[in-house]
Structure 1
Amino acid sequence: MKLVKTSVKRPVGVIMIVLAIIALGTVSLRNLNVDLFPEIDLPIAVVATSYQDAAPEEVENLISRPVESSVSSVEGIDTVQSQSQAGSSLVMMMFNNGTDLDQALLDVRESVDQVKGTLPDRAGDPSVLRFNPDQMPLMWVSLTGDDAAELTQVADDQIVPFFERQNGVASVTVEGAKEREIQIELDQAKLQQYGVTADTITQALNNSNQSSSAGVVEKGSKDLQLRVTGEFESVNDIKDTLVQTQTGETVHVDELADVNDTYKESSGESMVNGEQAVVLSIMKKTDANTVEVADNINASMDEVKEDLPSGMSTEVVIDTSDYINMSISSVVQNILMGGIISFLILLLFLKSFRATIVIGLSIPIAIISTFTLIYFTGETLNVLTLGGLALGLGMMVDSSIVILEHIYTYRQRGYSLTQSAIKGASELTPAVIASTTTTLVVFLPMVFVEGIASDLFTPLAMTVSFALIASLVAAVTLVPMLSSKLLVKATEDSGRRYWFNRFLDRVNNGYRAVLKWVLGHRKTTVFGTLAVIVGSLALIPMIGASFMPSSDQGQLQVTVETETGSSQAHTLDVADAVNEKLGAYDDVIETTYLNVGGGGEFATAGNQATYMMQLVPPDNRSKTTDDVVQSLNEDLASVPGAEISVMATDSASGLGDPVQISLSGPEHDVLQDLANDVTTAISEVDGVHNATSSAEEGTPQMHINIDSEQAAMYGLTEQQITGQIQLQFTGQTAAQYREDGSEMDVTLMYPEDERSTISDLEDMTIQSESGASVPLTTLVTLEEAQGPATLQRDNQQPQLNVTSEIAGRDLASITGDIQDRLDNMSLPEGYSYDIGGQAEDMASSFADLSIALVFSIFLVYAVMAVQFENFLFPLIIMFSLPATVVGVLLGLFVTGLPLSIPAFIGIIMLAGIVVNNSIVLVDYINILRREEYGKDRYEAILEAGTNRLRPILMTTLTTILAMVPLGLALGEGAEMQQPLAVTIIFGLAISSIFTLLLIPVVYTLFDDLTAKITRRKKA
């Protein structure tokens, strides 16, 4: 009351405060970071360890298992998983939600340090990393030309340093690069002629490539540091290195081998739009603005192109900021459309431009205030925070509408403008505070929801809350003040009958007649409502459920996998066949980035090729991304010699596979057979797409079994034999050579024609310490076998995963059918399965959100009980909630959307929204029944219903119609908010009908019950 009176009496102060808010909000908006989604905090840490030239079995036994055992005791760990493959180990730790990950990482590092000393000598130092899904490249830039070596040099020397100087760039990685190397190609005959071994050459190179401090000498009054310089200064120094033979003579390295300044053998190939290329992936700093960094890179591209040598060109392959910009723009457009719709609805009802301005000002003030609060809470400006503004747009004017309508009522009774503003606003301020508070408290239980649902939707909840608080303050201060100054003519009756008023009169009369009927048929109304609610539950099986809605980002990933063990050249041939098929899609594919055989972010083996494709903008193509995926799957199925899968890369891709079946048991071989059976079984389920098993086909191997006793006869150890075999077929790094600030390997190796075939292995000789050459076949036996490509473990037990995409059906239905198939399979004793992926996350999130919904409903009741200082009236109002079920289920069914996390958030929001109309209605009935008015119950209900119909229609229509653009998923990125908007639109619409008819009936029933209990006569 005092706040309202002060704002009316001191309008200049209110105006100054508003101007200050606008100024602060504008500054905050300019400094907000822009991103697609809020930061997702996944409590995951990774320990990565290299083990050069080791098979998966060795990696598992010597690296993965010791690391697993050491980290398993760290506090807060939920699951430990490991992946062992040729040459590397990856141990992933998933912590319980709420764990202090910074402290946990320190504990993990301490545990790894304790076991580091027990790891093999050839193992690299374990790296402990924090897994962050946001730390993905924001851009890929290609550099194309004819010479890969020259491309690499230009990229390393010119482009990488230039991009890393740009504001906000953290690092730039070159993919598909050629790495410089000094190769010393040994001549076997010369080595035997001079009696020199590879170890002797390695020792000579290291002795000749050293610099060290030799002390200090005086020169006058100064001390001179003595430093012996002996590092290689040129490749000729390497050639001229002296090697001592067994006879004591010395020879130069180039007399024993060919020394070549060249590049390492490429482990992969990168191509962009069919041309050989190196690709630069650009990472931003953690606190940098994604869009701003991308803009900086794009702005600097012209300068990069000017300095390129002739024959080279560069272009942006994929820019993730494009989709962010389009998504943000579409949400802003939806906000503007919603604002215009709300303004037109207000103008239609109020028939006064001034009155509409009075209420409409609540929207920009609330939005600008929200930007300030978003900035100070550290949130980013993303699709969900802006979506929260779009969703709350119609609700921002609800309080102002109710206040203004009541001011109108007093004005029509003959009060002055000032008196009407003060009395009308003061009388309903408690009611609007209560109704706004009920909307706000539903978000409090979200604090206790964990995981992805909380990370994504807490910012949305905060945004809606900020906007509603700002709009409430505007409603009880700004609206009364402006009403007392601007509504002089707006409240005057011109005598003309406004067409919309005539329409509202008919609606009001019709509502009054229906209200009389339901009050006279109370049992029929109550049981009819129950029948409709129960009947709507039949829609549940037809709706289904999913985790998160996917969005059309226009990005595809095509994975090509040839037979295990295939060469890179063969995989390239298959990729050429794929390229021919892709030629038919030139009208929809804008850019194609191909990586074959590793060296990049996606492919890891010579039998794998991965395409990243950027489609043209949605406005320039008639097909959706899912249509293109389906068409490509059909066309590429005819390419022989490879397994090819196509999938869309969207907002849900980073949340894991939709379906992941984890098989656990004591033996890897048994698990592999089970995984194949499960893959076959679930592939028959309708909706399962690209079901694959992590049980890859075994890698062809040649096992070399050393005869220890035979080796000992020649004075050889197993380690010596293994070392010479590795040198023959993989080479050996002997030293480091530095030139112009760059460091490169000096590698000993044999000519390619001596290390390529089985015959080269069989014809190989082993040199003993005495200098004798022993045929390898006298020391070992050779056996061909199939070795595993990757070995996985979960909580220190062998594991294999079967994963699947989904298409055409909702996740819950598909998961249910898969569960039935798996239950009918007979697993061997000691083996089990577990369904994870998005299906598990969905079940967990739904359980948490269900608890949050129950607490939200309780908090809504508690707030109303405090407001009314009565336990009965809030209970009456709560009867508007069950009818919401009808609208929610009907809305999802009509639009064909499954129940998802956004839809569930919408249900929670509805718990606080739908009671607002009931609060205003019941509160006004009570006002009319007080001594001041003295109306009996029946008259009070009829008058309150017809009197409150207009503001209820206004608030409901502005809230619903402002969300229609989001409900229609107009523009990019709107798919995330569509289920939430649809839920609120239909839920609020249906609930409002029941509020206007059912709540008065329930009010009379409870009033009668109270009268009986307290032995009073009916009013």
Structure 2
Amino acid sequence: MEIEKNKSTDSLYLDTLKYQEKDGQTWLNFFIKNFRVTVLIVIGIIVWGIISLFSLPQESMPEVKIPYGFVTVTIPGASPEDMEEMVVKKIENKIQNLSGVKTITSTASNSFAVTTVEFNADQDIKDAISRLREAAASAKSELPQDASDPNVREVSFTSTPVWTLVITGPYDSFTLRKYAEMVQEELKKLPGSSEVTLSGGDKPEIQIAYDPAKLEYYGVSIDQINSSIKANNFALPLGTIKLSNYEYTIKANGKLANVQDLRDLPITTSSGQTVKLSYVADVIEMAQDRKVINTFSLNGADPQNAITINVIKKTGSSILDLKDNGQKIIDKMGQDTFPKELKIETIMDQSQIIRKNINQLAHDGITTVLLVFTVIFLFVGLKEAFVAGLAVPLVFCVSFGVMYLTGITLNFLSLFSLILSLGLLVDDAIVVVQATKQYLATGKFTPEEAVLLVFRDYKILLTTTTLTTIWAFIPLLLASGIIGSFVKSIPITVSITLAASYFIAIIINHPMAIILERFRLTRGYIKSFLTVLFGTTLISLILTIKGSINAFFGIPLILIFGLISFSLLKYYRDSLKATLIKNEELILEESADPKKIKAKIHHHYLAETAEKSFTGRLIGGIIKMDKILPAYGNFLKGLLTNKKKTVITIVITIALFFGALSLPMLGFLKSEFLPQADNENMYINIEGPPGLTTTKTKEVADKVAQILLKEKSIKSFSLVVGAAGVNVSDKMSGGGASTETNRSQFAINLVPLKERTEESYVIAQELRKKISNITGAKIEVAELKGGPPTGSDISGTISGDDMLVLEQQANKYKAILSQIDGVINPKTSITLSPGEFSVKLNYDQMNLHGVTTAQVSSLLKTALSSTEITKILQNNDEITVRANFEDGSLDNIDKIKALKISNARGQMFSLSDIAEISLESSLTSISRIDGKRIISLSASVEKPHIAADIQAEFQKRIEKEPLPKGYEIKFGGLQETNAESIYSILKAMIIAMILIIGTLVLQFNSFTKAIMILTAIPFAVTGVFYGFTIMGFTLSFPALIGIVALFGVVVKNAVILVDKINLNLKVGIPFIDAIVDAAKSRLEAIFLTSTATVIGMIPITLTDETWAGMGAALIFGLSTSTLLTLIVLPILFKILNKKSHEKEERFRQLKKIAENLEASVL
């Protein structure tokens, strides 16, 4: 009676369950009978996973293949208008006919034109670049003769530096540069290094500064002198000569060796006399005309001159290996080569970010494993927790192996995906061990029989639930563009993990469950344990004696291990040995007689049910749901049998759902693309008036530096004056290679977040206030964003034909945008110009005087900038010789007009005799998109404001200020990316829905049941919207990914419940009882899998603000859906299936009556 009383009655189905011989005729039986094969598989998976893990390249973010290509062309001296007409339009005409082109963007500036081509996401980038190269080459014949060949290159997301160093010390800029070049050469040799660039310092050069008055006095032209210098700097092979049976080469060496050689160089004047070069020019060795200045400050110290070294990695190489090997080189050079006063500091190191992410995510992973293990242990039992927990390392090992084979790197998103899947991957294991426990608790089956029956009953269910979850993630691969490339590791990694968990649950968890149920402690286990313990003690002793382990830790460790070993050995000899011998006899008996193992297991579960033994509760689960099940069953039965309660429940559920949908519409639930997160790096960009000198620009930057030096949150900062620097809002730019004397940029490193009281975006807000009073330049504080390159928060382009009209409208819209609260750094692409000198050649006069265009061009280039004449080798260093005019000698336009030029006959003429020179206004650049001139407008958004709200407000305001006819504004940047991402997510949702419905129809052979199961999805969305609104989360792109993931996760619970109802109905359990019994028997499995998933999401939700929305969506959605699934789904099943079930039941009864009548007649 005791057995009958305590017999599991949670499920009426189990009472009718019987094991038949055919149940053992399955492929799983092979792994059950040959458990050593299972052990080998486990060992193989672990070895494969570990090897793959250490072979995976590691990086901070996924490598993104950007579907962009650049075409660049240069024409020295050409204006932006000329570059547009002569180059850009010709290039665009050739490119626009290419297939797969999405957008063509061009910029024409002084002497330079660049055309950016964006291809459709479905294009093969290598093929697209190849076709772009062919199209650009075909335009060469239509370009001016002095135009360079079109240069085509691919845009790479990995072409930005991964490691930035600064070199400082009490040395002049020449010496610092030489030290930096030594480091550069060594770092270039690293296998993972793609490019190593230097910025700052000085290179020596020889300048020849002509005096216009002396040139005129002696009657010599700069062309004549430059040609003479080139002619006197040569090394010419003349042939060979044979002497005394040896052949020698003959070389005429006329190389100039130093500055004095140049000064003494003879120049022939117009009168035929010879003078030295020094008579008409100052020849001096000096630093190159420095356009870029670098300084660096560490821990609040005054900024020092510095050289910046940027290291760019090769695609697919490991950042960690690159940094570690590079650091070894620098450390060795610091010891062996460099003086102690030379300092080399790292100011940006992506390997640190990777290590930080890996450590954080590893911590989250361990926390998640412990939490999930604890949940299973508390509710199911120690053995079951061990079996389910075993799935985690094995699944991860499989995932690492497949990631290595498929080329997925170990980065933040792939690690994030693994942690994301932690809560999901144990679901299958939980279902298997929980069901096995229920079957064994009946006392009717051996472990082998129970496992085979669970496999029979659950194989289709597990397959369906795994597929529905995978179907929710796989469509994310269809996300287009940069976003799709960026997030593709999420669906791949999660799908691999879920598929691996399915096979491990079946092939490994089943046999492991049998081993644990049959497990008894034997002498062999104790001896093996003692051997390991003694070995560990001995190794610890040896390592402590050798000094490999600190004695402070080593001695206590040896004492502890020794004490445990001694105590266990004594206990073994005194009493344990006899017990172990008895256990070995029982193992033999249980193997020979199935009744004995059944009795053992049944006795074990009776002890659990009785809850009298603490050990029994510890092993069998501390928290029991036995008291909850009857209450839940009675509550559910009351709902199902009371029509009024049923209607009220359905109405409340529908009201909650539509109430949730109204939250975004009413503005309670905000949306944005990527939430802002703390970042230890930020930038300050300074832009002065066009033409501002490097010295004047630095004066403004120095005022900003004084503010930064007082900030305790700033660890270090580097300053680059004379360059645009890194384009923070667009990572595709790859940093500023251009030299612009009116621009400068601070790269700021903050101290770690744990060492400061404010987040980076708060510090940025405070800095904006402090620098707002600095005049003389536009200054903006730019923050780095997580995720893929997306452009500015607010971005638009105004297109039309007239640049003056475009400029007026852009400035008007910029003023409107700047008035909106939350907008920071509003700007347009308009760059003012101080004007340009226009030189209109009179070709009739040129022909009359015998002067060529090349002569005029050479004269003006030397006069207005400088001309490289030749190079000389001095002390094994190649030094450039450059010609220009003395400072102040050409300080007005009249002096330029008076410049002398000579013809082939030696006659001298003024430049004004053959050309008209005037100062005119000019554009610095002309931008175009798809053949139309444009001016861009952009701004950033300050936290806590939302970019989408600000753009909506901006569009509302500019409706009152319409553009003239023929002009239009288009918005892009972050909001365009957001719109594309939402479209991709909606597309993924539809595809996921179709795949899930198809799978459900295949399993249940019913559209009604498939649609009914899908009601779990609106339940989940309801929870997400209410949870996000209450907790202040925004509906971001990661949150949308979380909602898509919910499709499969919440459907899994519904499938488990409906599948059990069907099983109950098949064995003849009454309709209402079948529903209630199924809900009760599946309550624990649904609760455990949902709790494990929710708990598994908590650490990653707290890890990163940018991606927290994904975990939060799963937490809120799954929690709400689980609750509503257990209450509302049974009601829906009753409503939608009652009539069909009654028909089936009547048909079954009629068939049974007919069979009885037939039998009675016979």
| TM band (smaller chain) | over 0.9
Corresponding residue for 1:565?
691
Corresponding residue for 2:611?
496
- Once the two structures are TM-superposed, the CA of residue 613 in structure 1 deviates from its matched residue by 0.4
Corresponding residue for 1:105?
129
Secondary structure of the structure 2 residue equivalent to 1:690: strand
- Of 917, 933, 937, which residue of structure 1 is paired with 2:1071? 937
Corresponding residue for 1:514?
635
- Once the two structures are TM-superposed, the CA of residue 537 in structure 1 deviates from its matched residue by 1.4
- Of 664, 669, 674, which residue of structure 1 is paired with 2:804? 669
Contact 1:60/1:84 (CA < 8 Å) preserved in 2?
A: yes
Corresponding residue for 2:88?
64
- Once the two structures are TM-superposed, the CA of residue 782 in structure 1 deviates from its matched residue by 5.7
The within-5 A match list for 1:341-740 is 341-350=371-380, 352-414=381-443, 415-487=445-517, 491-494=605-608, 495-496=610-611, 504-519=625-640, 520-521=642-643, 522-540=646-664, 541-585=667-711, 587-598=712-723, 601-602=735-736, 604-652=739-787, 654-704=789-839, 720-738=855-873
Contact 1:766/1:773 (CA < 8 Å) preserved in 2?
A: yes
Q: Hey, what's the Cα distance between the residues in 2 that align with 1:510 and 1:1011?
A: 26
- Once the two structures are TM-superposed, the CA of residue 595 in structure 1 deviates from its matched residue by 0.9
Structure 1's 412 and 1011: CA in aligned 2 closer, same or farther, altered over 3 A?
closer
Structure 1's 1018 and 690: CA in aligned 2 closer, same or farther, altered over 3 A?
farther
Moved more, 774-783 or 958-967: 774-783
- Once the two structures are TM-superposed, the CA of residue 355 in structure 1 deviates from its matched residue by 2.0
Secondary structure of the structure 1 residue equivalent to 2:295: strand
- Once the two structures are TM-superposed, the CA of residue 779 in structure 1 deviates from its matched residue by 6.2
> Once the two structures are superposed, what CA deviation does each residue of 1:728-770 show, in whole Å capped at 9, x if it has no partner?
2212222233457754432222211313455644664555666
- Once the two structures are TM-superposed, the CA of residue 496 in structure 1 deviates from its matched residue by 2.2
> Once the two structures are superposed, what CA deviation does each residue of 1:43-73 show, in whole Å capped at 9, x if it has no partner?
1011223333443333333333333333333
Contact 2:724/2:744 (CA < 8 Å) preserved in 1?
A: no
> Which letter does structure 1 place at the counterpart of 2:411?
N
> Which letter does structure 1 place at the counterpart of 2:387?
V
- Once the two structures are TM-superposed, the CA of residue 435 in structure 1 deviates from its matched residue by 0.6
> Which letter does structure 2 place at the counterpart of 1:42?
I
> Once the two structures are superposed, what CA deviation does each residue of 1:920-971 show, in whole Å capped at 9, x if it has no partner?
111111111113xx21111111111111111111000000011111122x3x
Q: Hey, what's the Cα distance between the residues in 1 that align with 2:228 and 2:136?
A: 35
Moved more, 913-922 or 437-446: 437-446
- Once the two structures are TM-superposed, the CA of residue 712 in structure 1 deviates from its matched residue by 6.9
- Once the two structures are TM-superposed, the CA of residue 109 in structure 1 deviates from its matched residue by 2.2
Q: Hey, what's the Cα distance between the residues in 2 that align with 1:945 and 1:574?
A: 72
- Of 268, 282, 289, which residue of structure 2 is paired with 1:258? 282
Corresponding residue for 2:38?
14
Contact 2:174/2:203 (CA < 8 Å) preserved in 1?
A: no
Structure 1's 249 and 1009: CA in aligned 2 closer, same or farther, altered over 3 A?
farther
- Once the two structures are TM-superposed, the CA of residue 833 in structure 1 deviates from its matched residue by 0.7
Corresponding residue for 2:300?
none
> Once the two structures are superposed, what CA deviation does each residue of 1:660-717 show, in whole Å capped at 9, x if it has no partner?
1111000111111111011111222333221111112333444455666777776656
- Residues 1:906 and 2:1021 aligned together: no
Contact 1:167/1:296 (CA < 8 Å) preserved in 2?
A: no
- Root-mean-square deviation (Å): 2.7
> Which letter does structure 1 place at the counterpart of 2:1121?
S
Moved more, 201-210 or 619-628: 201-210
> Which letter does structure 2 place at the counterpart of 1:523?
V
Q: Hey, what's the Cα distance between the residues in 2 that align with 1:270 and 1:218?
A: 56
> Once the two structures are superposed, what CA deviation does each residue of 1:343-381 show, in whole Å capped at 9, x if it has no partner?
11011101x322210111011111111111111110101
Moved more, 164-173 or 430-439: 164-173
The within-5 A match list for 1:210-249 is 210-212=234-236, 214=238, 228-249=252-273
Corresponding residue for 2:13?
none
> Once the two structures are superposed, what CA deviation does each residue of 1:540-577 show, in whole Å capped at 9, x if it has no partner?
13222222233322111101122233222221111121
Corresponding residue for 1:302?
331
Q: Hey, what's the Cα distance between the residues in 2 that align with 1:781 and 1:189?
A: 21
Moved more, 695-704 or 44-53: 695-704
Corresponding residue for 1:891?
1027
Corresponding residue for 2:541?
none
- Of 999, 1002, 1010, which residue of structure 1 is paired with 2:1140? 1010
Corresponding residue for 1:947?
1081
Contact 2:717/2:749 (CA < 8 Å) preserved in 1?
A: yes
- Of 1075, 1094, 1097, which residue of structure 2 is paired with 1:963? 1097
Contact 1:544/1:811 (CA < 8 Å) preserved in 2?
A: no
- Once the two structures are TM-superposed, the CA of residue 94 in structure 1 deviates from its matched residue by 0.9
Q: Hey, what's the Cα distance between the residues in 2 that align with 1:77 and 1:225?
A: 57
> Once the two structures are superposed, what CA deviation does each residue of 1:246-287 show, in whole Å capped at 9, x if it has no partner?
455554434443332333211121111111111111111222
Q: Hey, what's the Cα distance between the residues in 2 that align with 1:795 and 1:232?
A: 52
Contact 2:721/2:745 (CA < 8 Å) preserved in 1?
A: yes
Contact 1:143/1:151 (CA < 8 Å) preserved in 2?
A: no
> Which letter does structure 1 place at the counterpart of 2:629?
N
Q: Hey, what's the Cα distance between the residues in 1 that align with 2:862 and 2:1115?
A: 71
> Once the two structures are superposed, what CA deviation does each residue of 1:158-213 show, in whole Å capped at 9, x if it has no partner?
22112223342222111013233222222444433443211112222233334455
Structure 1's 312 and 222: CA in aligned 2 closer, same or farther, altered over 3 A?
same
Secondary structure of the structure 1 residue equivalent to 2:962: coil
Q: Hey, what's the Cα distance between the residues in 1 that align with 2:369 and 2:638?
A: 37
Aligned length: 1011
Corresponding residue for 1:812?
948
Contact 1:389/1:464 (CA < 8 Å) preserved in 2?
A: yes
Contact 1:727/1:748 (CA < 8 Å) preserved in 2?
A: yes
Moved more, 605-614 or 298-307: 298-307
Secondary structure of the structure 1 residue equivalent to 2:29: helix
Q: Hey, what's the Cα distance between the residues in 2 that align with 1:573 and 1:182?
A: 28
Corresponding residue for 2:574?
none
> Which letter does structure 1 place at the counterpart of 2:65?
D
Contact 2:724/2:745 (CA < 8 Å) preserved in 1?
A: no
- Once the two structures are TM-superposed, the CA of residue 476 in structure 1 deviates from its matched residue by 1.2
> Which letter does structure 2 place at the counterpart of 1:318?
M
Q: Hey, what's the Cα distance between the residues in 2 that align with 1:251 and 1:765?
A: 18
Q: Hey, what's the Cα distance between the residues in 2 that align with 1:122 and 1:740?
A: 36
The within-5 A match list for 1:977-988 is 977-988=1107-1118
Moved more, 717-726 or 268-277: 717-726
Q: Hey, what's the Cα distance between the residues in 1 that align with 2:253 and 2:914?
A: 44
Moved more, 847-856 or 20-29: 847-856
- Once the two structures are TM-superposed, the CA of residue 98 in structure 1 deviates from its matched residue by 1.5
TM-score by length of 1: 0.94
Contact 2:173/2:201 (CA < 8 Å) preserved in 1?
A: yes
The within-5 A match list for 1:22-41 is 22-41=46-65
- Residues 1:755 and 2:890 aligned together: yes
TM-score by length of 2: 0.83
Identity among equivalent pairs (%): 25
Structure 1's 486 and 156: CA in aligned 2 closer, same or farther, altered over 3 A?
closer
Moved more, 86-95 or 363-372: 86-95
Q: Hey, what's the Cα distance between the residues in 1 that align with 2:67 and 2:872?
A: 41
